[in-house]
Structure 1
Amino acid sequence: MNRDHHIRRAESADQSNSHSTSIKAFLSMVNAVKTLVTGATGFVGSAVARRLLREGHQVRVLARASSDRRNLQNLEVEVYEGDLTKTDSLQRACDGCDALFHVAADYRLWAPNSAELYRNNVDGTRAILNAAKITGVSRIVYTSSVATLGIPGDGRSGDESTPVSLSNMIGHYKRSKFLAEEVAKEFARDGLPVVIVNPSTPIGPRDIKPTPTGRIVRDAMAGRLPAYVDTGLNVVHVDDVAEGHWLAYQKGTVGERYILGGQNLSLRELLAEIADIVGRTPPRWRLPHSVVMPIAYAAEGWARLTGTQPIATVEEVRMSKKRMFFSSAKAERELGYAPGSFRRALEDAVTWFKQNQ
């Protein structure tokens, strides 16, 4: 009898604990910050969505009906079908959200119809920020790019204050991102709580398209890059970029922008690191830009005829004449941003491409 009494007490305690846990889970769900992420099916956006989920955010993602959703697999997110070019879908997606991370961008250094870049990047940014304003979203992080920033001519790293203008932007992608960032600044000046982040060159897992940099990693792994041009870039793990987004959401000053970068590397150094990771011989020959430019023109011409992506683009060659080195000192100082090893970024990217080619 005494044993039965203890069993009943234990069962009652288990039920009480289960009930208490359920209540806590319900309250946590009710009180969770409701956040919309655009571009969550993509490379950076999916990393940002994962970071927000770890913080307990209730994540809603905007995705086109035709989008590749592999990066959303096994994520507890609410999918709203919509398009940055369709205003009504944006207001529905923003409705009821406390925060917005506008990560989506048309990241192509070559497009058969360049007007698409401006429509997606500039008009799309204006449309989603206007929807956020109408629906009362209280905190916004806008994902720009270091492509919008100035590069000092003396070899120093660029930062948020390096002078730059639209005339300095090479190609339609950079011009469209520059103009899109100007839209974000305009909304911030008008009172919308927008913080701007400028990722450098993210590398890592889930680069499903892949991005132009992801193609470099993939092609270098396969030994398809026997030569290189004299250029440089700033490499950062995509998960560090996602962490920077979170820190900007928490600590960023409205209207300010923050570079989210990592390590400055020459292209030769980057390719040598990839070769070391996969056990290949690094490329030995440096090609002058004057040699590569005709190849890029020919590649674009062939791409227009076949509907494929060019192996090299004129914009890429023009951009490569400058080393795109940047400093994240402001983000480190004001946000507590602390990027990790670029080697880990490359290792994670190589592992992912091996498993997903």
Structure 2
Amino acid sequence: MKILIVGGTGMIGAHAALHLREQGNDVTVAARHPLADDSPVAGLPVLLGDYTEQTFTAGQLAPFEAVVFAAGQDVRHMAPGVDEAEFWEKTQSGGVPRFAALAKEAGVSRFVQVGSYYHHLRPEYADTMPYVAARKAADEGARALADENFTVSTLNPPSILGAISGVSAKRYRKMFSWAAGNEPQIPDFAPTGGTNYLSARSLAEAIWGALQRAESGKAYLIGDQNLTFREYFQMIVDAAGGDRVIEERDEEHPLLPDSYIVQGRGGVLAYEPAAADVELLGYTRNDCARALTEMEQLVTQAVAAGRNGAS
């Protein structure tokens, strides 16, 4: 299958690109900028463009049988001082359906959107949270385009565990340095609450499953393990070889600030994905500990490479 992955240089997109290539597909990544030399997808064909600015054309998308949209942005991507309503319209509520419509016009037959679990699990959040409302609109707007010639589905995953070489790995340097016991200024506790987690590898497997077998017009709530934030922090410490036990406190933590917890500190977003959906999409369960160990190894390699490059 000839597949274009929008957001293919990011953590989720890169995992998907490599997995889809391993399955024998012809994969191209779409990106706003040329690939860095240390990108794990540096050897793949690249299509430069920006869906938020509508720079792609139908002619560019026409050669592809399928598009995987893995470029949805969240609060971490919003620069200070930007107009929030405009940002969400361009990146989510309007931008994603517009791009899906362009793919349909180009004759692309399959479109898989990687969304988010908040509106799927708690629809009421969309009534008061602009980010969740934008995700909901992006999901529903793209799926509304489905017909007999254009198969559209959405995968709505929880928090994703994964990293890729280069900048992505370096982003987690402080977290794993703390986990190993090298950041005494960062306290050893986790905030109250918790959620579901899914590895980037499992998500990549689900994307391939959706491309082959998803029901057109359907959104799938996918996920893996329900963890309290204390359990999640403890798994990070264990992955880094930190010999200590993390406690739970009802306090904000610098590694997981309250602004990152959509359900609010102390809130829990736990669920079990439908067994039939897991089987249909064919993704691995109980993969979180392995994913965190892999992340720690990538971070260690990135830090070592940075030191060697500076010497």
Q: TM tier, shorter chain? A: 0.7 to 0.9
Indicate if the aligned counterparts of 2:250 and 2:266 stay in contact, CA closer than 8 A. no
The letter for the 1-side match of 2:137 is L
The 2-side partners of 1:169 and 1:243 are apart by 33
Match of 2:32 in 1: 64
Match of 1:282 in 2: 245
Match of 1:136 in 2: 107
Match of 1:91 in 2: 58
Indicate if the aligned counterparts of 2:230 and 2:248 stay in contact, CA closer than 8 A. no
Match of 1:233 in 2: 195
Aligned pairs for 1:261-276 (under 5 A) are 261-276=223-238
The 1-side partners of 2:178 and 2:22 are apart by 33
The 2-side partners of 1:45 and 1:147 are apart by 20
* C-alpha deviation, 1:239, in angstroms: 0.7
Please tell me whether residue 252 in structure 1 is matched to residue 214 in structure 2: yes
Match of 1:11 in 2: none
- Alpha-carbon RMSD across the aligned residues, in angstroms, is 3.0
Match of 1:299 in 2: none
The 2-side partners of 1:169 and 1:109 are apart by 19
Please tell me whether residue 175 in structure 1 is matched to residue 142 in structure 2: no
* C-alpha deviation, 1:41, in angstroms: 0.5
Indicate if the aligned counterparts of 1:41 and 1:69 stay in contact, CA closer than 8 A. no
Match of 1:49 in 2: 17
Match of 1:354 in 2: 300
- % same residue: 23
Indicate if the aligned counterparts of 2:173 and 2:299 stay in contact, CA closer than 8 A. no
The letter for the 1-side match of 2:107 is G
The 2-side partners of 1:54 and 1:46 are apart by 12
Q: What secondary structure sits across from 2:269 in the alignment?
A: coil
The 2-side partners of 1:147 and 1:90 are apart by 31
Please tell me whether residue 40 in structure 1 is matched to residue 1 in structure 2: no
1:44–1:275 distance in 2 versus 1, CA, 3 Å: same
* C-alpha deviation, 1:266, in angstroms: 0.4
5+ residue gaps, structure 1, are 1-32, 152-163, 297-309
1:37–1:216 distance in 2 versus 1, CA, 3 Å: same
Please tell me whether residue 339 in structure 1 is matched to residue 306 in structure 2: no
* C-alpha deviation, 1:219, in angstroms: 6.3
Please tell me whether residue 320 in structure 1 is matched to residue 265 in structure 2: yes
Greater shift after overlay, 139-148 or 109-118? 109-118
* C-alpha deviation, 1:36, in angstroms: 0.9
The 2-side partners of 1:104 and 1:134 are apart by 20
Counting matched residue pairs gives: 292
* C-alpha deviation, 1:88, in angstroms: 4.3
Please tell me whether residue 79 in structure 1 is matched to residue 36 in structure 2: no
The 2-side partners of 1:48 and 1:55 are apart by 11
The 2-side partners of 1:217 and 1:173 are apart by 25
Q: What secondary structure sits across from 2:19 in the alignment?
A: helix
The 2-side partners of 1:44 and 1:110 are apart by 15
1:315–1:53 distance in 2 versus 1, CA, 3 Å: closer
The letter for the 2-side match of 1:177 is R
Normalized against structure 1, the TM-score is what?
0.72
Name the larger-Rg structure: 1
* C-alpha deviation, 1:203, in angstroms: 0.9
1:167–1:87 distance in 2 versus 1, CA, 3 Å: closer
The 1-side partners of 2:116 and 2:37 are apart by 24
Greater shift after overlay, 312-321 or 142-151? 312-321
Greater shift after overlay, 277-286 or 178-187? 277-286
Aligned pairs for 1:126-205 (under 5 A) are 126-151=97-122, 164-165=123-124, 167-168=126-127, 170=129, 172-188=130-146, 192-205=150-163
The 1-side partners of 2:136 and 2:266 are apart by 19
* C-alpha deviation, 1:43, in angstroms: 0.6
1:348–1:225 distance in 2 versus 1, CA, 3 Å: farther
The letter for the 2-side match of 1:286 is R
Paired residue for 2:68, among 101, 108, 125? 101
5+ residue gaps, structure 2, are 304-311
The 1-side partners of 2:88 and 2:168 are apart by 17
Indicate if the aligned counterparts of 1:94 and 1:135 stay in contact, CA closer than 8 A. yes
* C-alpha deviation, 1:346, in angstroms: 1.1
1:197–1:73 distance in 2 versus 1, CA, 3 Å: closer
